[in-house]
Structure 1
Amino acid sequence: MRIFLFIIFSLAMCTQTLAQNDALAQQYYEKGEYKKAVIAFEKLYKKSPRKINYFIGMINSHQQMEDFDTAEKLLLKEIETPKLKRLNPILLVEVGFNYDLKRDSVNANKYYEKAVAYTEQKASASYGIGRAFEKKSLLDYALRVYKHAMEVNPNYNFLNNIARIYGEKGDIEKMFSSYLDLIKDRVEQKGYAQRIISQFLRNDPNDENNTLFRKLLLKRNQDDPNLLWNELLSWLFIQQKQYKRAFIQEKAIYMNGDYSLQRIFELANLSIEDNDKETAREILNYIIEKSTQDSTIIRASQSLLQLDIEAVTDGNYDAIQLRFEELLAQYGRNFRTILLQRDYANFIAFQKDDPETAIAYLKEAIEIKLTLRQQAVVKLALGDILVYKEQFNQALIYFSQVQKALKNDVTGQEARFRVARTSYYKGDFEWAETQLKVLKSSVSQLIANDALQLKLIISDNSLEDSTQTALKKYAKADLLYYQKKETEAINTLEDILQNHKGEKIEDEALLMQAKLYEKRSEFDKARLNYKKIIEFYKDDILVDDAYFAMAQLYLNHFDEPEKAKQFFEEIIFNHQDSIHYVEAQKAYRKLRGDSVN
């Protein structure tokens, strides 16, 4: 037993030593200490002659010192009398490359051809030799090797290598075609291929590469109909924000074999997120028409109702209320329609301004036999409406119940944030801050960001003013904003700006007031507020919010993309830690015409 343990220990020590020496040799090479690298790699190769990388490391070190003659002698000797009595064919590529470095193209090509010929006799060597050619950027030779291997043995698949080589050569059409061949042959590679292809596409449908890729897909779909080509066309149109065209492809997929409406539902959500509400409506109506599942019809109807609520401009919600009531009459008030019931209650409270009816409605919903999560949905909605009515203590009871029931869940953390926000509304800043400290490390980045933002508002504005007068006014304005009492909120914020000049709360008040102006389409007033933050509070934490908001204003409302680009630049180059950084980067690249993955 002791002998056995000794052997195991010795082998482990040898392996560790070898690994350390390997790392040392690589370190010498990377630091440009090539003489030391030669000695280190030579020692390693003597101990492990099967590891050809050590020999090649030694050769590369000689080449870095421009000692091509020594490298040539070592290579030819290894080819003629290999240590393992069997030629490693990638050395034929290494010899050829060494001749290339000596500017001897005749001998270089001679050995490259020998390497190719070797694969023609022994196709199993194709991958190793092909990769050796690729590493030396000898792309045409690598293509020959891979293509021949696939011709003689259909089981070999080097389409990924071939596509990558065409990409490096700048032959975009052949690269696209090769990736399409790869996807068809191995559908599990679709995600990988899409990531590579997306690097060559832009958001612009008229871009040369986008046009080329679309034509290739359309031709394949015509010559060899396959739902795969429809999926890729849909994917392309989504990259180009052409949701209506993507919808045409998704309908074809649905009608010809994929009988799930999930893909189409996801497209509807993308359209909503990107503010293409016309297409979203068309998609949602299609889902309602085609689906045979009540749950799907209810979900689509909910989304459609939310779009229609947002579209109301005259305050007349009677038709929408009737649709809610018809749906609930058709599908019943039960666990399946709990989200629809929640939406209806929110509609009654916030759009119809009848919170009492909404509260009574949700209290009835709690009595339905529900899961813990479904109960949480109802209680959170109930709490929100009680906050709207300024019945803070009752709201806190419901939020706290959800927090305790799902304390290790995102929903529980959302409930905790509502506890903090409600405490802040009622002026209990100390308790609010206690809750927010916990939420800074929430698993939900959105909750964590909101918690941090609210915590900073409270802490920054509590130090200088022990009475917290300005903070109380600001919290009141925030509550009025939540209650959709926009005029009162703007006036309360104006009170802060007039009577608390120079206090820390001023930039916060300017920002909230600007958002309210935007909501009322008073874009010039909003711009003036953002400008004040940038001019007078350029070192404060809200300046990146102001830059981002200004960029959006110039992009979406003033139609001045060049000015928008300047504000996105400020975030990209001077505020890399901003929560807007990623979105600013994407928007900036899109305005500049770069590809956006």
Structure 2
Amino acid sequence: MKKGPNSFTIYFFFSMLIFLFAGMPQGFAQKKNEKVMIRDQANRYFQEQKYDKAAVLFKSLYDDSGADAYFEYYLRCLIESSDYKTALKTIRQKLRESKKSKYLVWQGYVYSREGDTKRAEEYYQQALDGLQPERSRIIELGNAFYTLGEMEWAAKVYQEAQKKFPSQEFHYELAQIYFRTRNYPLMLDAYLDLLKSQPKALTTVEGRLMTAFYYDIDGELKDQMQKTILARMQSDPGNVVYNKLFVWFLIQQKNYSAALSQALVLDRRTGDEASTLLNLAQLAAKGEAYSEALRAYDYLKKRKGDNPYREEAQLRQTQVAYQRFLAAQTSRKTAVDSLDQLFQMTFHQLGESRRTLFLIEDYAKFLAFYSHQPAKAIDLLERAGKIQGLNPTQKGKLKVELADCNVCAGDYWEAVLLYAQVAKEMRETNLADEAKFKRARLAYYMGDFNWVKAQMDVLKGSTAKLTANDALALSLLIENHEAPDSLNSDLQMLARADLDRFCNRPQEALLRLDSLQQKYPYSDLNEEVLSRKAKILVKLQKYQEAASAYNDLLKKYPDGKNSDEARFRLGELYEKELNLPDKAEAIYKDIVLHHPGSVYIEDARKNYRALRDRK
């Protein structure tokens, strides 16, 4: 049976492309340009599968340059256009000239395409029998089979070469072939054999396996890899490169706990895994595996001997402790005091400098918004602003953060001044737009709605998407709910509640929102009130009350401005916090079926499928 054109045509095109004309004298510029035009046209014909036309051009290029790449393109064109007679004649002529075994492969491939499998294999075997000890010749022959899609024969080349010439290894080449044929057990064995003889190839092997994982849609490779590596670790316990690969594998699976246990054992054994542990800690923190990240940093901090990562571990451990604190959404005094002590100890040991600036900013936010000591935060940021060597962006960012702290300290005019300075000094930057928005939002908190509206048109056109969206939301809130001929007392109460939310005073915000509902039961702001109450209650971990607020919102305002978010957040509450998967599934299904315009539809579909698959 004849073989038709296949994916190797395109692969061949991209893998064999060679630029032949660089570095020619200026006097040949016109001729060079003509050749480039011919080459480009030939490539276009080839991609468009106009093989007859491409063949003429590639033959012309080969006749002029003698380059193998053009010759092989020419052969491919003849084969794909079924001109097997010319292809065979051309190959025989080439064999008389070069004697390269790879052209026996091409000859066999022509017969294969004609359907003469027996004759094809005779030429393949002839090429294999002529193996020479030169590594370049072996790889050239293997690549000929590989490029033409004859993977079994490509593997035979390297297997036979390793038998004939034991001093040479071709584990990497074999692994690539097994990857193409999805023979994962043999691929893994080949890579592990490569690591046994060349431990320094670990990074290369990890990169190739990462590619294999990308294409492993059904998860077959993951299961096979764990079994294969564990078996090697047991059969060859003295070779630590397998342990290193296993740590890498566990990290890719986001199994940070197991990866950390393996990495700690390995470091105690070799004393050479500090950089691996640092990377593991960073990835664990990014994956919100805070306990594992903290354990890794603590180990690095206390690690004896030559330890270049001690200070870095101290810094990052404090940063991750703050991230875990934020994720836990706790306001318990013991947690606040413990983290405060960790910050203070870190700065006592490492000082306040450009190196610790990111942690200074975290500590200032912690002091202002969680420890509710804005005065201390202001003092810290003012000292940070005097650190030598800060660039304008760093200084501007510190000023914005200082202004935020002043807002929560009640010094609104100082905050206005600082926001205005950043807007002027950093003009036409995202930071300037952020400062302008925060100044406008402060005016909203203070009840100056007319001034806010005057600024919004500029801010809605910000290149910073977040600032533009926030500006639009604030603008719509005022436009939709401000009454020109009234005092707007309900909107002012909502603004003060939003100020309490900004400064992380959730209880005070709830009290203001409750008062607003009681004082203005028919206010058109009630949908906004319910949305804010639900979010605050989630933050306070009062999940049942939050679910009631969301349900109340959806009952009263099923098509309201906040209903889309409320519907999805309610599903998340049922799924993740209240352990009511059936209710969560029903909400996600409702979003998918009845709210096709929802911005949460993709997340709802994914969550719905996950819940359904668990049953």
SS in 1 for 2:333: coil
Deviates more, 1:103-112 or 1:86-95: 86-95
| Equivalent residue letter for 2:292 | T
**Separation in 2 of the partners of 1:235 and 1:489?**
47
RMSD between aligned alpha carbons? 4.9
Give secondary structure in 2 for the equivalent of 1:352: coil
Given the superposition, is the C-alpha separation of residues 185 and 374 from structure 1 closer, same or farther in structure 2, using an over 3 Å criterion? closer
1:119–1:331 distance in 2 versus 1, CA, 3 Å: closer
Q: Among residues 24, 28, 43, which one is paired with 2:45 in the alignment?
A: 24
Q: Which residue of 1 aligns with 2:128?
A: 116
Is contact 1:473–1:493 with CA below 8 Å preserved after alignment? Answer: yes
* Cα distance, 1:457 vs structure 2: 0.7
After alignment, is 476-485 or 422-431 more displaced? 422-431
Task: Provide, for residues 248-272 of structure 1, a one-character-per-residue CA deviation record: whole Å limited to 9, x for no partner.
Answer: 3333455566668554344334434
The alignment status of 1:315 with 2:333, answered yes or no, reads yes
Q: 1:264 corresponds to which residue?
A: 277
Q: 1:134 to 1:568 in 2, by over 3 A?
A: farther
**Which residue, 92, 113, 117 being the options, matches 1:80?**
92
d(CA) in 1 for partners of 2:213, 2:162: 26
CA deviation after TM superposition for structure 1 residue 203, in Å: 12
**In 1: Cα distance, 2:430 partner to 2:544 partner:** 39
Q: What is the letter of the counterpart of residue 86 of structure 1?
A: S
List alignment gaps of at least 5 residues for structure 1.
30-36, 64-69, 443-447
- CA distance in structure 1 between the aligned counterparts of 2:576 and 2:342, rounded to whole angstroms: 33
User: 2-side partners of 1:281 and 1:56: how far apart?
Assistant: 60
2:405 corresponds to 1:385:
yes
What whole-Å deviation, never above 9, does each CA across 1:149-198 have from its counterpart, x for those lacking one? 56667897754442232234332122123334556353452452242243
Q: Are 2:187 and 1:175 aligned?
A: yes
Once the two structures are overlaid, the 10-residue window that deviates more, 73-82 or 136-145, is 73-82
Identify which of structures 1 and 2 has the higher relative contact order when contacts are C-alpha pairs closer than 8 Å and 6+ apart.
1
C-alpha deviation, 1:142, in angstroms = 0.8
2:452 pairs with 1:429: yes
**Retained in 1: the 8 A contact 2:39–2:57?**
no
Post-superposition shift, 1:145? 1.7
Counterpart residue type for residue 81 of structure 1: Q
From 107, 118, 122, the counterpart of 1:106: 118
CA distance in 1, matches of 2:338, 2:26: 83
Higher mean alpha-carbon deviation, 453-462 vs 81-90, is at 81-90
Alignment partners' CA distance in 1, 2:409 and 2:219: 48
Aligned to 1:247: 260
CA distance in 2 between counterparts of 1:113 and 1:408 reads 69
Per-residue deviation, 1:110: 0.9
Secondary structure at the aligned position of 2:94 is classed as coil
User: Which residue identity does 2:223 align to in structure 1?
Assistant: E
- Mapping 1:513-592, distance limit 5 Å: 513-527=533-547, 545=565, 549-550=569-570, 552-559=572-579, 563=584, 567=588
Q: CA deviation at 1:61?
A: 3.2
State the distance in 2 between where 1:409 and 1:155 align: 61
Q: TM-score, normalised by structure 1?
A: 0.75
Change (3 A) 1:7 1:294: closer
Which residue does the alignment assign to 2:500?
480
Distance in 1, matches of 2:272 and 2:135, equals 43
Q: Is the 8 A contact 1:221 1:230 kept in 2?
A: no
CA gap of 1:301–1:61, structure 2 versus 1, over 3 A, is closer
Q: 1:297 corresponds to which residue?
A: 314
- 2:460–2:471 Cα contact (<8 Å) kept: yes
The Cα of 1:225 is off from its aligned counterpart by 2.4
Report the Cα distance in structure 2 between the residues aligned to 1:265 and 1:121, rounded to whole angstroms: 44
| SS of residue matched to 1:137 | coil
Q: Is the 8 A contact 2:564 2:598 kept in 1?
A: no
Match of 2:109 among 92, 97, 118: 97
Change (3 A) 1:415 1:248: farther
- Residue 315 of structure 1 aligns with an amino acid whose one-letter code is K
In 2: Cα distance, 1:322 partner to 1:413 partner: 35
SS in 2 for 1:429: helix
Provide closer, same or farther for how the CA distance between residues 585 and 432 of structure 1 changes in structure 2, counting only shifts above 3 A: farther
Which residue of 213, 231, 240 corresponds with 1:198? Answer: 213
Deviation track 1:530-556 (CA, whole Å, cap 9, x = no partner) reads: 678889989999777557645543442
Matched, 1:456 2:490: no
Q: Residues 356 and 510 from structure 1, CA distance in 2 versus in 1: closer, same or farther, beyond 3 angstroms?
A: same
Q: Aligned pair in 2 of structure 1 residues 294, 85: CA closer, same or farther (>3 Å)?
A: closer
Give the letter aligned to residue 76 of structure 1: L
Q: Does 1:356 align with 2:375?
A: yes
Whole-Å Cα distance in 2 between the matches of residues 207 and 588 of structure 1? 25
Partners of 2:100 and 2:593 lie apart in 1 by 50
One-letter identity of the residue aligned with 2:456? E
C-alpha spacing 1:499/1:429, structure 2 compared with 1 (3 Å): farther
CA distance in 1, matches of 2:221, 2:605: 22
**Equivalent residues of 2:329, 2:539 under 8 A apart:** no
Kept in 1, the 8 Å contact 2:456–2:472? The answer is no
AA partner of residue 38 (structure 1): D
- Cα shift at 1:127: 3.6
Q: Distance in 2 between matches of 1:5 and 1:168?
A: 44
Distance 1:122 1:299 in 2: 52
Quote the residue 1:212 is aligned against: 227
The one-letter amino acid paired with 1:23 is R
Instruction: Say if 1:80 and 1:391 are closer, same or farther in 2 by CA, change over 3 A.
Output: same
Counterpart residue number, 1:134 = 146
C-alpha spacing 1:150/1:174, structure 2 compared with 1 (3 Å): same
Q: Deviations over 1:545-582 (max 9, x none)?
A: 5576455434422446685698499689998996996x
- Counterpart of 2:19 in structure 1 is none
The answer to which of 293-302 and 570-579 deviates more is 570-579
From 256, 281, 289, the counterpart of 1:276: 289
Match of 1:222 among 232, 237, 242: 237
Residue 241 of structure 1, CA deviation:
3.0
Unaligned runs of 5+ in 2: 1-24
* 1:310-349 mapped onto 2 (5 Å cutoff): 310=328, 314-316=332-334, 317-325=336-344, 328-329=347-348, 342-349=361-368
Count of equivalent residues: 564
Aligned twin of 2:156: 144
Q: Which amino acid aligns with 2:261?
A: I
Structure 2 CA distance, aligned partners of 1:28 and 1:189?
35
Q: Counterparts of 2:227 and 2:140 in 1: how far apart (Å)?
A: 33
Match of 2:11 in 1: none
Moved more, 139-148 or 176-185: 176-185
Measured in 2, the distance between the counterparts of 1:592 and 1:386 equals 49
Kindly state the Cα deviation for residue 454 of structure 1 after the two structures are TM-superposed. Answer: 0.6
Rate the CA distance shift 1:62–1:401 in 2: closer, same or farther, 3 A.
same
Distance apart, 1:143 and its partner CA: 0.6
Q: What is the aligned partner in structure 2 of residue 9 from structure 1?
A: 30
Question: What is the percent sequence identity of the aligned residues?
Answer: 22
